[in-house]
Amino acid sequence: MREIVIRAGKVAIRARLLETPTAERIWAALPIHAEAKMWGREVYFNAPVSSDPEPGARDVINAGEIAFWPDGDAIAIGFGPTPMSRRGEIRMASPCNIWAMALDDVGRLKSVHAGEGISIVDANGHDA
């Protein structure tokens, strides 16, 4: 089972990769270093990969699902309502590919601020 660690500011969240084409592309690109951006209760950041929407891509996700936003070549982690949300849902700007599941509480990302460094690395310290 492949696991990653997402670090942003003082927060570290472990996640397990799913078996998807997007997960394969992201795994191959590790480590990823970027600058955090915020959109409501979503942190997102540019990724050095591209991926078309996969079957099952959706714009409403569940807390803990780690998404890839094909329209922006960005990794997106929703932890609460965004400007497009209705009734408290976590709604992304457009359909996203779900490529990993958080093993820790993504709600901790509320302490992250735009402009902070964010990274994704192999949780086991291996070169991907």
The tens digit of pLDDT for each residue in 52-103 reads 999 999 999 999 999 999 999 999 999 999 999 999 899 999 999 999 999 9
Q: Quick check: 128 pLDDT over 60?
A: no
For residue 31, whether the previous peptide bond is cis, meaning omega lies within 30 degrees of 0, is: yes
The tens digit of pLDDT for each residue in 7-35 reads 998 999 999 999 999 999 999 999 999 99
Q: Quick check: 1 pLDDT over 90?
A: no
pTM of the model: 0.94
Contacting residues for 122 by C-beta, under 8 A, at least 6 apart: 2, 3, 4, 5, 30, 31, 128
Domains of the chain by start residue, with CATH? 3-122 (2.40.100.20)
